[in-house]
Amino acid sequence: MISYSNLTLILMAYMLGSVPSAVWVGKMLYGIDVRDYGSGNAGATNTFRVLGKKAGLPVLIMDILKGFLFF
């Protein structure tokens, strides 16, 4: 049986992982939704492709940190 603390961690990890950092960076800093350009994916690779290093690197770092935060 899953304890409440484990269930809370699972839900928090799911919610954090669902934050679209590429969309946030693109819209807040550049006024562009990266999903409308390039491959149409909201990820770091497409952000690098569409907006360049200055936007892609923070998205990559945020995505990596999201993965390691609850590991």
* The pLDDT value given to residue 21: 95
- Indicate the domain borders of the chain: 4-69
* The pLDDT value given to residue 67: 86
**Could you report the per-residue pLDDT of 50-64, keeping only the tens digit for each?**
999 999 999 999 999
Q: In angstroms, rounded to a whole number, what is the distance separating the alpha carbons of residues 35 and 13?
A: 23
Q: Quick check: 63 and 44 in contact, CB under 8 A?
A: yes
**Could you report the per-residue pLDDT of 17-38, keeping only the tens digit for each?**
999 999 999 999 999 999 999 9
- Cα Rg of the chain (Å, integer): 14
Collect all residues with Cβ–Cβ distance below 8 Å to 25 and sequence separation of at least 6: 47, 51, 55, 58, 59, 62
